């Protein structure tokens, strides 16, 4: 028996077009640049979508999964032409060497933006389709923060966004995609997908799928799926920090070819959303309003720094909350700040006490103790992003005269794992306040150890109020920009 061959590939980046620093080729090499067998070595047995895909194909003897290429960079500014061209050249070179294929599994993010191609994911998926032909099924996953374009939908057979935020169902989404590929290649089934772009962009503050309004919206989507016998109705929360035409929330409807009920499903979903538009905006509480409210909360308190959300392209170097807590004379705070220069200063000047300028504002702190640490750590439990291995670069932990603890890193690091603290000898019980530079993603890591959780609307390139940003290319009308 000749096995059918399935290629696995992806280019994954969440691009913040308001972030000043471009995402270059080096950023992808510092993230994940995986070729062929390296891909499954990294993700087998994990909670990534690739983990779920691999799990399915290990149990199907008639199909053979061939990992080709996967690259990832920490969310940031526009992807450079050099980076995209180099990745595509290498990906298609490896694809040609390993082919031909009977099917393609893809793992894009869905919110990538390139200098030349604003719809970066649509562009590379179209280039892939041109190479493999129109008859080969192209099935994949998406991050629910994808800004899905008509081109992404038309150039793929079906795409399954994960449906939780924090993202805990990535492997499950990968399994869905892989099983649907099996049903196409071995079961002879044929599927189609329809993109429904909604008249809103859900505020990042309201994108937690365990809470309303998203919880209710997902529940209604499942009712609609069952009502009209669809394969899936998947919510795209959208990524509000990309100035592109496809920015905004959406649904992807997947159904067997011949289903004539899709338009009725679309009408139901639109009616539900239009009746509840205002519920998808947030309260946006700033730190000076929040601080008086903290004294009545049980500690430790998780403070989500929405304006410096690393997972949304934030700098990871904001000191806004640190300064506010200093001003309020509050101690027992933990915060992680990206500042390779400060780490080098500690390496070169170990004498204490030391006045150190940290973060993008070069905020001055008085350091009374410090230690250098290696930046590698691992996460074994399912967490947002499905990452197993993390690298902060050469790092340091300092204690200030105010009694605050600052972790300084040489690489921007997403706060998706409690092991960032535990593996370095820190425990949440040491602190009254823990700052995580994110919005919803860190909750999966910290909710088991933090008694209270507060979202703080801070300044930065990921500020919670998207209407403060100068959009030139978005759709009109779009709530909350337009209320009619």
245 near 118, Cβ under 8 Å?
Answer: yes
3-state secondary structure of 265: helix
Q: How confident is the model at residue 381 (pLDDT cuts 50, 70, 90)?
A: confident
pLDDT tens by residue, 271-290: 999 999 999 999 999 999 99
| Chain-centre distance for alpha carbon 196 | 21
pLDDT tens by residue, 1-47: 678 999 999 999 999 999 999 999 999 999 999 999 999 999 999 99
230 near 253, Cβ under 8 Å?
Answer: yes
Give the Cα separation of 479 and 484 in Å (integer). Answer: 8
Neighbours of 165 (CB within 10 A): 26
SS (H, E, C) 272-340: HHHCCHHHHCCCCCCHHHHHHHHCCCCCCEEEEEHHHCHHHCCCCCCCHHHHHHHHCCCCCEEEEEECH
Domain identity same for 241 and 296: no
Q: What does pTM read for this prediction?
A: 0.96
The answer to the question of residue 405 being in a domain is yes
Domain identity same for 294 and 250: no
Choose the final residue of a domain: 262, 280, 298: 280
What's the structural domain count of the chain?
2
Mean pLDDT of 52-74: 96
Choose the final residue of a domain: 226, 257, 280: 280
Q: What pLDDT sits at residue 1?
A: 64
- The residue segments making up the domain with residue 183 are 4-280
Mean pLDDT of 253-267: 96
Q: What pLDDT sits at residue 351?
A: 82
Give the Cα separation of 372 and 383 in Å (integer). Answer: 27
More confident site: 385 or 55: 55
Q: What pLDDT sits at residue 380?
A: 87
Does position 317 have pLDDT exceeding 70, yes or no?
A: yes
H or E segment to which residue 457 belongs: none
Q: How confident is the model at residue 349 (pLDDT cuts 50, 70, 90)?
A: confident
End-to-end CA distance of the chain: 60
The answer to the question of residue 425 being in a domain is yes
Q: How confident is the model at residue 352 (pLDDT cuts 50, 70, 90)?
A: confident
Domain identity same for 268 and 333: no
The answer to the question of residue 152 being in a domain is yes
Q: Which of 107, 111, 75 is nearest to 414 (CA)?
A: 75
Give the Cα separation of 270 and 222 in Å (integer). Answer: 14
Give the Cα separation of 159 and 163 in Å (integer). Answer: 12
Q: Length of the chain in residues, anyone?
A: 484
The answer to the question of residue 422 being in a domain is yes
Choose the final residue of a domain: 250, 280, 310: 280
Domain identity same for 201 and 339: no
pLDDT tens by residue, 181-205: 999 999 999 999 999 999 999 999 9
Q: What pLDDT sits at residue 307?
A: 98
Kindly give, in sequence order, each residue whose CB lies less than 8 Å from that of residue 100, ignoring residues fewer than 6 positions away.
Answer: 5
Percent of the chain with pLDDT over 70: 100
Give the Cα separation of 31 and 28 in Å (integer). Answer: 5
Does position 367 have pLDDT exceeding 90, yes or no?
A: yes
Kindly give, in sequence order, each residue whose CB lies less than 8 Å from that of residue 29, ignoring residues fewer than 6 positions away.
Answer: none
The answer to the question of residue 70 being in a domain is yes
Q: Angle of helix 81-98 relative to helix 120-132, nearest 10 degrees?
A: 30
Domain identity same for 231 and 300: no
Domain identity same for 406 and 421: yes
The answer to the question of residue 480 being in a domain is no
The answer to the question of residue 479 being in a domain is no
Mean pLDDT of 72-96: 98
Q: What pLDDT sits at residue 231?
A: 97
The answer to the question of residue 474 being in a domain is no
Give the Cα separation of 432 and 232 in Å (integer). Answer: 43
Give the Cα separation of 101 and 275 in Å (integer). Answer: 46
Domain identity same for 265 and 293: no
Domain identity same for 372 and 227: no
Domain identity same for 302 and 265: no
Domain identity same for 243 and 348: no
Domain identity same for 205 and 296: no
Domain identity same for 382 and 252: no
């Amino acid at each position: 028996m000749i096995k059918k061959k399935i290629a696995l590939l992806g280019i994954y980046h969440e691009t913040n077009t308001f972030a000043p620093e471009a995402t270059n080729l080096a950023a992808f090499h510092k993230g994940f640049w995986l070729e062929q067998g390296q891909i499954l070595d990294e993700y087998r047995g994990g909670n990534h979508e690739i983990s779920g895909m691999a799990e399915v194909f290990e149990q199907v003897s008639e199909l053979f999964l061939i990992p080709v290429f996967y690259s990832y960079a920490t969310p940031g500014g526009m992807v450079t032409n050099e980076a995209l061209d180099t990745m595509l050249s290498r990906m298609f070179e490896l694809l040609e060497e390993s082919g031909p294929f009977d099917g393609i599994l893809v793992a894009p993010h869905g919110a990538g933006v390139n200098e030349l191609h604003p719809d970066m994911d649509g562009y590379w998926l179209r280039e892939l389709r041109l190479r493999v032909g129109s008859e080969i099924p192209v099935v994949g996953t998406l991050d629910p923060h994808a800004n899905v374009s008509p081109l992404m939908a038309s150039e793929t057979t079906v795409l399954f966004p994960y449906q939780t935020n924090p993202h805990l169902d990535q492997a499950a989404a990968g399994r869905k995609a892989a099983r649907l590929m099996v049903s196409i290649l071995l079961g002879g089934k044929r599927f189609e997908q329809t993109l429904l772009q909604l008249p809103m962009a859900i505020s990042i503050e309201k994108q937690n799928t365990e809470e309303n309004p998203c919880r209710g919206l997902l529940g209604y989507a499942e009712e609609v799926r069952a009502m009209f016998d669809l394969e899936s109705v998947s919510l795209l929360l959208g990524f509000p920090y990309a100035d592109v035409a496809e920015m905004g929330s959406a649904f992807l409807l997947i159904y067997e070819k011949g289903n004539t009920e899709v338009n009725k499903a679309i009408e139901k979903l639109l009616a539900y959303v239009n009746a509840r538009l205002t519920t998808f905006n947030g309260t946006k509480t700033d730190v000076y309003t929040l601080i008086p409210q903290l004294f009545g909360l049980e500690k430790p308190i998780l403070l989500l720094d929405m304006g410096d959300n690393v997972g949304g392209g934030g700098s990871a170097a904001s000191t806004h909350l640190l300064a506010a807590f200093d001003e309020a004379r509050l101690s027992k705070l933990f915060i992680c700040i990206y500042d390779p220069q400060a780490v080098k200063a500690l390496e070169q000047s170990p004498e204490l006490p030391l006045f150190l300028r940290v973060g993008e504002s070069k905020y001055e702190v008085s350091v009374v103790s410090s230690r250098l640490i290696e930046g590698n750590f691992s996460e074994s439990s399912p967490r947002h992003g499905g990452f197993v291995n993390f690298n902060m670069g050469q790092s340091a932990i300092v204690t200030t005269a105010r009694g605050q603890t600052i972790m300084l890193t040489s690489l921007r690091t997403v706060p998706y794992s409690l092991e960032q603290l535990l593996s370095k000898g820190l425990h949440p019980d040491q602190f009254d306040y823990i700052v995580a530079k994110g919005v919803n993603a860190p909750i999966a890591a910290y909710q088991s150890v933090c008694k209270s959780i507060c979202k703080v609307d801070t300044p930065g390139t990921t500020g919670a109020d998207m209407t403060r940003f100068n959009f030139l290319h978005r759709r009109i009308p779009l709530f909350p920009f337009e209320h009619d």
